């Protein structure tokens, strides 16, 4: 109950899962962009991921950003990065636990790049919901061609309300 005696508004599923993706992003070790992802089927979380260096390797926040050093613009040369993307890590987490994700929805703080989109297509993802668009035309084209539904989430205020409520509770 709130101080005025009313129960707080229960969040919708999409806002809830995107709030979870935002929480996952807080674990990121990337110094340029913090990204979180949540893989869901039937309103059940199957895996989460955030962008960061592969297990057992040095983090960019400790040794600097290769992309910054090489002056690579956002949306280009994805392979020139120490970090595994949030979507990659979520797929890897599901695979490591033997969790099938075919037919899933991916909730992400950012639109997937073309490399992550290819992985999501091959993993059988059916829908992607994200908050922030990403400058990668090929990514959107591939997802469209593969029949993946891509939605920009416009309820960021609701997501932020969820996160504020979690801190205050």
Give catalytic residues, as residue numbers: 87
Q: Please report, for the chain, how many H helices and E strands are present, in that order.
A: 7, 5
- Calpha distance 26→105 (Å, rounded): 21
Q: Where are the alpha helices (DSSP H) in the chain?
A: 13-25, 60-63, 66-69, 86-96, 114-123, 137-146, 156-168
DSSP state of 82: S
- Calpha distance 105→155 (Å, rounded): 17
**Phi-psi group of 163: left, alpha or beta (phi > 0 → left; psi -120 to 50 → alpha; rest → beta):** alpha
- Contact of 112 with 139, CB cutoff 8 Å: yes
């Amino acid at each position: 109950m709130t101080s005025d005696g009313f129960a707080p508004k229960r969040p919708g599923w999409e806002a809830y899962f995107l709030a979870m993706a935002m929480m996952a992003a807080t674990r990121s070790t990337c110094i340029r962009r913090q990204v979180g992802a949540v893989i869901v089927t039937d309103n059940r979380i199957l895996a989460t991921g955030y962008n960061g260096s592969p297990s057992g390797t040095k983090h960019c926040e400790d040794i600097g950003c290769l992309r910054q050093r090489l002056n690579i613009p956002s949306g280009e040369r994805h392979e020139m990065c120490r970090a595994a993307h949030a979507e990659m890590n979520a797929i890897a987490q599901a695979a490591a636990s033997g969790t099938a994700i075919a037919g899933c929805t991916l909730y992400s703080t950012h639109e997937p790049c073309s490399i992550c989109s290819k992985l999501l297509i091959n993993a059988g993802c059916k829908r992607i919901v994200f908050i922030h668009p990403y400058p990668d035309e090929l990514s959107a084209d591939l997802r469209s061609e593969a029949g993946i539904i891509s939605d920009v989430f416009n309820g960021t205020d609701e997501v932020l309300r969820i996160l504020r409520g979690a801190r205050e509770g």
